[in-house]
Chain A
Amino acid sequence: MFCWGAKAKSLNAVGFPNARDWNPTEEDWKLPENWQEIFLEGMRERLSKYRSFRLFMDICVRCGACADKCHFFIGTGDPKNMPVLRAELLRSVYRRYFTKAGKMFGKLAGARDLDLKVLKELWYYAFQCTECRRCSVFCPYGIDTAEITIIVRELLNLLGLNIQWTMGPVADCYMKGNHLGIEPHTMVNIFETMCDDIETLTGIKITPSFNRKGAEILFVTPSGDFFADPGTYTCMGYLMLFHELGLDYTWSTYAAEGGNFGFFTSNEMAKRLNSKIYAEAKRLGVKWILGGECGHMWRVMNQYMDTWNGPADFLEVPKSPVTGTVFENARSTRMTHIIEFTADLIRHGKLKLDPRRNDHLKVTFHDSCNTSRAMGIFEEPRYVIKSVCNHFYEMPDGTTREQTFCCGSGSGFNAGENMELRLRGGLPRANAVKYVRDKYDVNMLANICAIDRAALTTSMNYWNPGMGVTGVHELVANALIMTGEKKRETNMRGDPLDMPVEEPEAEAGAAAPADKAAGGKANV
């Protein structure tokens, strides 16, 4: 179970070392002659740069609390997918070359020589960790396997050992502004198509702007949202919401990517890709930045962006032009999550919503790893969903919020050749979805992550056929009553609405959303 090795042309595009075409199934990985030296020197450097790395190498007591917390261990049963063992793969090398006990006692102290077999093992298992951090929640010392995986991948990168499914998007994002390599004119085309669809649905013509100087807000979302279903419905949701609000905002074709696959290769590459967002905000002279629904994007925005490319003193603290709410929790990065923005709108009764338009859906919510464990967005999406849907059901305890399970394909694994691993890793999440499907007839899995929308669709097709996957703003768009819109016959996807026909729509619109929220429409 693995993804194909990264191609020379992708590595060369961003100037990564030891670029070459190679194949993980072949015996010869065409490594540079001094690969051990490079690896160990890289390790030494990172041990002096990351306290997390040094500390997590040192203090694990192997209590095993993390063992059955990893979706890949649960799904594959491979003992080396226990987080502690995954870390031990590198820790054994650390002992051998960086601790006295390991140098003296060798194998007895749990140390291993860095040979080709060990290197291949590191590669194999570094790409069976989605950096979801679930293990870190349960670790008594907060040891975060994601940190270790990040470092291992950096070290592998020094040897040109990456996966193409990550490196391709990195190269494209670097040169073209987004992971999917969508060039500016194509991007405009795609948006025209989406706007045509919106017009068909609502009778309203939307004309979004691109790279517009002087806009108040720069909007950034993962390019997956305007590339394929069901992400596109969420993207149309943004377009409809912003149009209805009359928001003074712009898209950018240069900073057209909220996600950051660079984060799955090296810290430096992640920073190089991320730099575009502040650079573009500065060039366009916007006041603040609004970010779309995405998982690892928000880990980066919350925990890394300001450190790498800040301070963003050329921006203003985000303030909703509709409600006047100042987003104090983003006063340094000056970037707000759209779910915070929308929750605030609904709370202030600024949106006309008819949740009955989502009555054909029984919805559950999948907390994405990064927004959960690297940020803590739990209530905002639930509030929004409950405001736009009448049927919402939680998945069982132990599988939601900070204990949520990965979709199985995070951190750049969504490759076709990697299907078995993805489905196995997706099992714990799918199994919890199955539980609410069997119990409450849930038929729609909502989330706020672009990779989820792609990955869970595949996972559900296999594990829970018939289960839909949606972004939260698609649900918002379904329920959103737009000024001057025509009567909606279908939902965003063209499926007929399951609505009582006799009730006039205007009446439903009159119901103030704020009341509904206060009344608590929780069905669980």
Chain B
Amino acid sequence: MKAFLPFLAVIFLVLLVIVGVKAASLYFLFGVIVPYAALLTFLAGVVYRAVKWGRTPVPFHIPTTCGQQKTLPWIKQSKIENPSTTGGVVVRMLLEVFLFRSLFRNLKTEMHEGPKLTYGSDKWLWLAGLSFHWSFLIILVRHLRFFTQNVPGVVQIVGSLDSFLQIGLPLLYITDVIFLAAVAYLFIRRVAIQPVKYISLAADYFPLFLLLAIGCSGVLMRYFLKVDVVSVKMFTMSLVSLRPRIVPGVGTLFYVHLFLVSTLFAYFPWSKLMHMGGVFLSPTRNLANNSRMKRHVNPWNYPVKVHTYEEYEDDFRAKMKMAGVPVEKE
């Protein structure tokens, strides 16, 4: 059920746009209004969420340390896993964001007879996650050729590297394959691995189905059903130059793709996908373990009621004197 409803939702979205474009000819709605609205929602939503996080203070200095602390000069510090400087934190964050350092640690715990516990390396989630995110990024960068006059050299290089195997025409992009395979794996593990199935919510399946549908519609357009890419680019360029116009002959499939992407963008800020921004703000990763060296200030630190020494001595003066413990007041 948790997987089925999101599946239906994505099917519904696809049907909606097909009917809207084919039967009702709502080209302007699906081609212009929805994409603009989606992008604005995305930009404003992400900023809103980031500002909301930003306005919430970090009261305490709580890095998770994963290596030797800075200590005596002859003990080697683990400067990245347990950074004490901003530089170390930056490297730690870069590793986290670009290589999924923490996920790379993943272990598979197994209980055998005895009981006997074993811990084996388990890198599949890391591999699939990293493959998915990197191929998605490369695909996004490649798409810039639809959104720029005089396509920047970097975008062209990314495109040609991605297709260097020269399979078929139009050339097969390796990332298209990796993207679909990785998303499929991420879906399958959610239904096949029992604990993961147990923790999965509709909000976990929906983005996966959406991404799969986006990937499939894109692949269909490029490799199978073929759209006239020049018309597509004329249309997308009209969008980015803020002079939107409908270009005839781009095909329904393109509208499906565009609508699903719009849905993803609009959905993004209100969902778990915000981990994209959140990972940068995680106080267990982005703080240096230097709280003994430098005082961390809590903006809402307030005075609290304490049991003072004087009160304590009043309670125990006689006993303290009897035991020979010095007192302030005789």
A–B direct contact (CB < 8 Å) = yes
Would you call A137 and B72 a contact (CB within 8 A)?
no
Would you call A378 and B68 a contact (CB within 8 A)?
yes
Expressed in whole angstroms, the Cα–Cα distance for A223 and B104 within the complex equals: 40
> Does residue B231 face the partner (Cβ distance < 8 Å to A)?
no
Expressed in whole angstroms, the Cα–Cα distance for A139 and B100 within the complex equals: 10
Scoring B residues 31 to 53 as 1 if CB is less than 8 Å from chain A, else 0, what string do you get? 00000000000000000010011
**Which of A63, A211, A347 contacts B72 (CB under 8 A)?**
A347
Scoring B residues 49 to 91 as 1 if CB is less than 8 Å from chain A, else 0, what string do you get? 1001100111111111111111110111010011010000000
Would you call B69 and A329 a contact (CB within 8 A)?
yes
> Does residue A227 face the partner (Cβ distance < 8 Å to B)?
no
Most B CB contacts (10 A, CB to CB) among A64, A136, A188, A333 go to A64
**Which of B53, B295, B306, B323 contacts A51 (CB under 8 A)?**
B53
Most A CB contacts (10 A, CB to CB) among B117, B307, B312, B326 go to B117
* Chain B minimum-CB-distance residue to A99: B270
Would you call B62 and A144 a contact (CB within 8 A)?
yes
Would you call A329 and B293 a contact (CB within 8 A)?
yes
**Which of A68, A176, A303, A401 contacts B108 (CB under 8 A)?**
A68
> Does residue B19 face the partner (Cβ distance < 8 Å to A)?
no
Q: Which residues of B contact A139 (CB under 8 A)?
A: 102
Q: Which residues of B contact A100 (CB under 8 A)?
A: 270
Would you call B295 and A307 a contact (CB within 8 A)?
yes
> Does residue A49 face the partner (Cβ distance < 8 Å to B)?
yes
> Does residue A523 face the partner (Cβ distance < 8 Å to B)?
no
Q: Which residues of A contact B293 (CB under 8 A)?
A: 328-332
**Which of B5, B270, B294 contacts A101 (CB under 8 A)?**
B270
* Chain A minimum-CB-distance residue to B57: A51
Q: How large is the interface on A (under 10, 10 to 19, 20 to 34, 35 or more residues)?
A: 35 or more
Expressed in whole angstroms, the Cα–Cα distance for A481 and B111 within the complex equals: 45
Would you call B309 and A138 a contact (CB within 8 A)?
no
> Does residue B160 face the partner (Cβ distance < 8 Å to A)?
no
* Interface members, chain A 23-57 (any B CB < 8 Å): 47-52, 54-55
| Residues A279 and B115 in contact in the complex (CB < 8 Å), given A69-B109, A402-B65 | no
Q: Which residues of B contact A54 (CB under 8 A)?
A: 52-53, 56
Would you call B295 and A306 a contact (CB within 8 A)?
yes
| Residues A268 and B304 in contact in the complex (CB < 8 Å), given A63-B125, A68-B195, A329-B292 | yes
Output the least CB separation between B78 and chain A (Å): 7
* Interface members, chain A 72-109 (any B CB < 8 Å): 74, 79, 82, 84-85, 88, 99-101, 108-109
User: Which one of B196-204, B240-248, B250-258 contacts A?
Assistant: B196-204
* Interface members, chain A 285-315 (any B CB < 8 Å): 301-304, 306-308, 310-311
Would you call A332 and B64 a contact (CB within 8 A)?
no
Q: Which residues of B contact A340 (CB under 8 A)?
A: 71-72
Would you call B291 and A306 a contact (CB within 8 A)?
yes
Would you call B119 and A397 a contact (CB within 8 A)?
yes
Scoring A residues 98 to 137 as 1 if CB is less than 8 Å from chain B, else 0, what string do you get? 0111000000111000000000000000000000010011
Majority secondary structure of chain A interface residues (helix, strand, loop or mixed)? helix
Q: Which residues of A contact B325 (CB under 8 A)?
A: 184-185, 188, 210-211, 253
| Residues A302 and B275 in contact in the complex (CB < 8 Å), given A137-B66, A376-B67 | no
Would you call A175 and B307 a contact (CB within 8 A)?
yes
Q: Which residues of B contact A432 (CB under 8 A)?
A: 117
Q: Which residues of B contact A362 (CB under 8 A)?
A: none
**Which of B71, B103, B117, B312 contacts A177 (CB under 8 A)?**
B312
> Does residue A60 face the partner (Cβ distance < 8 Å to B)?
yes
* Chain A minimum-CB-distance residue to B204: A62
**Which of A68, A136, A188 contacts B109 (CB under 8 A)?**
A68
> Does residue B15 face the partner (Cβ distance < 8 Å to A)?
no
Expressed in whole angstroms, the Cα–Cα distance for A254 and B108 within the complex equals: 47
> Does residue B300 face the partner (Cβ distance < 8 Å to A)?
yes
Would you call B324 and A51 a contact (CB within 8 A)?
no
> Does residue B329 face the partner (Cβ distance < 8 Å to A)?
no
Would you call A59 and B309 a contact (CB within 8 A)?
no
Output the least CB separation between B117 and chain A (Å): 5
User: Which one of A160-168, A270-278, A465-473, A498-506 contacts B?
Assistant: A270-278
Would you call A185 and B304 a contact (CB within 8 A)?
no
Expressed in whole angstroms, the Cα–Cα distance for A47 and B282 within the complex equals: 15
> Does residue B149 face the partner (Cβ distance < 8 Å to A)?
no
Interface positions of B (Cβ within 8 A of A): 5, 49, 52-53, 56-72, 74-76, 78, 81-82, 84, 96, 100, 102-103, 105-109, 111, 115-117, 119, 125, 129, 193, 195-196, 198-204, 270-272, 274-275, 278-279, 281-285, 289, 291-298, 300-301, 304-309, 312-313, 315-316, 319-320, 322-326
Could you jot down 15 A-B contacts, CB within 8 Å?
A49-B300, A50-B57, A50-B58, A51-B53, A51-B283, A52-B283, A59-B274, A59-B282, A79-B195, A137-B102, A183-B319, A184-B323, A211-B326, A271-B304, A307-B59
Interface positions of A (Cβ within 8 A of B): 15, 47-52, 54-55, 58-65, 67-69, 74, 79, 82, 84-85, 88, 99-101, 108-110, 133, 136-144, 147, 174-177, 183-185, 187-189, 210-213, 253-254, 267-268, 271-272, 275-276, 279-280, 283, 301-304, 306-308, 310-311, 325, 328-333, 335, 340, 343-344, 347, 372-380, 383, 396-399, 401-403, 427-428, 431-432
Closest 7 CB pairs of A and B: A376-B69, A398-B119, A59-B278, A142-B284, A185-B323, A376-B65, A68-B109
